[in-house]
Amino acid sequence: MIVTGTSTNPAERPAAVRLRFAPSPTGYLHVGGARTALFNWLYARHLGGTFVLRIEDTDVARSSEESVQAILDGMRWLGLNWDEGPEVGGSFGPYFQMQRLDTYKEAANQLLNAGHAYHCFCTKEELDGLRAAAQEKGETFAYPGRCRNLLPDIVQKFCDEGRKPVIRFQVPTSGETVVDDLVHGPVTFRNDQFDDFVIMKADGGPTYNFAVVVDDALMQISHVLRGDDHLSNTPKQILIYQALGYVLPRFGHIPMILGSDRTRLSKRHGATSVMAYAEAGYLSDAFVNYLSRLGWGHGDQEIFTRQELIDFFDVPAINKTAAVFDPVKLDWVNAQWLKATPSAEIAGLLRSHLAKRGYPVEAKSDAWLAGLVDLLKERTKTLEEMTDYAKFFFDLELTYDAESVEKFLTEANRPIIEGLIAAFDAESDWTAERIEGAFKDLAAKLGLKAGGVIQPARVALAGSKVSPGMYETAELMGKELVLKRLRHALGLIPGAVES
């Protein structure tokens, strides 16, 4: 039977495509989480489905409101809008697991009544003892099912005594469970390798494997894309789906992201929160582009617009093997995006980077900043690098490159600097063309090639031999700052008294 509308009968196959991202709010949104979110978002958008954001906050000790906000901020920066979830609501809510405790209780009761689950009163000490005994025998600990067959009146008696049981799922002792994975194909697990795992804790909260099944089923999730590290959880979840009579979603386990040393990506590799990449001056489009390539590809194309990603993203093209996070490639992708993005758009973003660095940017117009971006975007890989580079365009104290000063700010070159001061002082039309004219006239007057005049000027204005085109640079710096720097340069000539 095909379900229409928002029926929440989980035993019926969802008609609609619904994907979800289900982070635990125990920290910021990191690169791995962002990539999982992106793949689910892309697939939902590709298929014209719904993208749900669900907050899995049942680990009360480690969850925080601050982390929820950090995750939402990260999602917003990436542009991964959600159709249902926090702040937007939806007809399958609530979207915070801690607001769904009654639902889990109800589902647990259903399993208890059907004989698929049981109360377990084993204490921590008893379990520790069993664990130690298993270790002694060189075996891995598995709960032996001691409370499986407690009679109902014993359970009642223990509860009346105030003992707080957990609820365990009764795993079939024979047979196999097959995860028909969209990425890996069928993966078979023997049921006897699982012990009777806990689904409800003694405090009444659900465990991850239980809550995720109840929620995915009731929220009619059609596809679950998540990291490979969850593959071993999936057979347990499938057993719960079957016991509850729920229809299975399609599962796809996406490859892990490794650092360049091929260990699991972590802070050690410099990969922290997604927002740290925003602060470091990566463009959202570029970061999303880079993330998409971690475990997915489309021919040998490297640069994708969001629309192309949505159009091309498909699950069969997801790799089975781990992806390696390569910061050099990320820089390259960002540089491509800087070049391709209109300067006016970048200028808006650059402004806040400059302001944060304390550059006097308030007085600068948007057009001036766009001009700055025009000059710098071919030479820099991130907005932070652009900010470093841009320093000499502002009336700030310059750091001079000693070698360049020694080579170009010499007594022999004094007439060049003095000549430029004289020419610029008299110039009322401050344009790159007029500035170019002044340089050429001076070169001719001194019997030099243009380059012979430009290099000393560059060191005087930018503090080193590196700058964009001199005429455009001088135009953007403005007459006042150019003259100030040239006069200051005279004082850098050895033996000179600063004027």
Min dist CB 184 to ligand GLU, Å, is 16
Q: Are 178 and 187 in contact (CB under 8 A)?
A: yes
Three-state SS string over 361-415 comes to CCCCCHHHHHHHHHHHCCCCCCHHHHHHHHHHHCCCCCCCCHHHHHHHCCHHHHH
Examine residue 19 and tell whether it contacts ligand GLU (CB under 6 A).
Answer: no
**x/- binding map, residues 41-80, to ligand GLU, per CB under 6 A?**
---------------x------------------------
Examine residue 23 and tell whether it contacts ligand GLU (CB under 6 A).
Answer: yes
Distances (CA, A) of 11 to 14, 16, 172, 210, 244: 9, 14, 21, 16, 8
Is 479 a known active-site residue?
no
Q: How far apart are CA 476 and CA 402, in angstroms?
A: 25
Burial status of residue 480 (CB atoms within 10 A of its CB: 0-12, 13-18, 19 or more) = exposed
Q: Which stretch binds ligand GLU (CB under 6 A): 18-26, 175-183, 244-252, 381-389?
A: 18-26
Residue with tokens 């290099």: 455
Considering the complex, state which of residue 57 and residue 475 has its C-beta at the smaller distance from ligand GLU: 57
Examine residue 291 and tell whether it contacts ligand GLU (CB under 6 A).
Answer: no
Examine residue 86 and tell whether it contacts ligand GLU (CB under 6 A).
Answer: no
Q: Are 14 and 247 in contact (CB under 8 A)?
A: yes
Q: How far apart are CA 486 and CA 474, in angstroms?
A: 11
Token reading at 231: 């593959």
Query: For strand 185-190 and strand 176-181, is the pairing parallel, antiparallel, or unpaired?
Result: antiparallel
Q: Which of 164, 267, 320, 329 is catalytic?
A: 267
Min dist CB 69 to ligand GLU, Å, is 17
Q: Quick one: which of 376, 297, 306, 294 has its CA closest to 330?
A: 294
Considering the complex, state which of residue 52 and residue 390 has its C-beta at the smaller distance from ligand GLU: 52
Min dist CB 350 to ligand GLU, Å, is 34
Distances (CA, A) of 198 to 48, 213, 243: 37, 14, 15
Residue with tokens 């769904």: 100
Query: For strand 257-258 and strand 250-254, is the pairing parallel, antiparallel, or unpaired?
Result: unpaired
Give the residue, chosen from 35, 119, 168, 226, that forms a contact with ligand GLU under the rule CB under 6 A: 226
Min dist CB 246 to ligand GLU, Å, is 15
Examine residue 24 and tell whether it contacts ligand GLU (CB under 6 A).
Answer: yes
Q: Helix 65-78 to helix 31-46 angle, to the nearest 10 degrees?
A: 50
Token reading at 492: 């850098």
Considering the complex, state which of residue 56 and residue 385 has its C-beta at the smaller distance from ligand GLU: 56
Q: Which stretch binds ligand GLU (CB under 6 A): 17-25, 100-108, 196-204, 312-320?
A: 17-25
Examine residue 184 and tell whether it contacts ligand GLU (CB under 6 A).
Answer: no
Considering the complex, state which of residue 95 and residue 471 has its C-beta at the smaller distance from ligand GLU: 95
Examine residue 18 and tell whether it contacts ligand GLU (CB under 6 A).
Answer: no
Residues in 413-432 at the binding interface with ligand GLU, rule: CB under 6 A: none
Examine residue 211 and tell whether it contacts ligand GLU (CB under 6 A).
Answer: no
Examine residue 110 and tell whether it contacts ligand GLU (CB under 6 A).
Answer: no
Token reading at 80: 């991964």
Give the residue, chosen from 230, 479, 484, 487, that forms a contact with ligand GLU under the rule CB under 6 A: 230
Q: Which stretch binds ligand GLU (CB under 6 A): 21-29, 104-112, 143-151, 399-407?
A: 21-29
Q: Which stretch binds ligand GLU (CB under 6 A): 22-30, 319-327, 441-449, 475-483?
A: 22-30
Give the residue, chosen from 10, 14, 18, 22, that forms a contact with ligand GLU under the rule CB under 6 A: 22
Q: Quick one: which of 57, 91, 43 has its CA closest to 83?
A: 91
Q: Are 337 and 289 in contact (CB under 8 A)?
A: yes
Considering the complex, state which of residue 38 and residue 212 has its C-beta at the smaller distance from ligand GLU: 212
| AA letter at 218 | L
Catalytic residue numbers read: 267
By CB under 6 A, name the binding residues for ligand GLU: 22-24, 56, 212, 226, 230
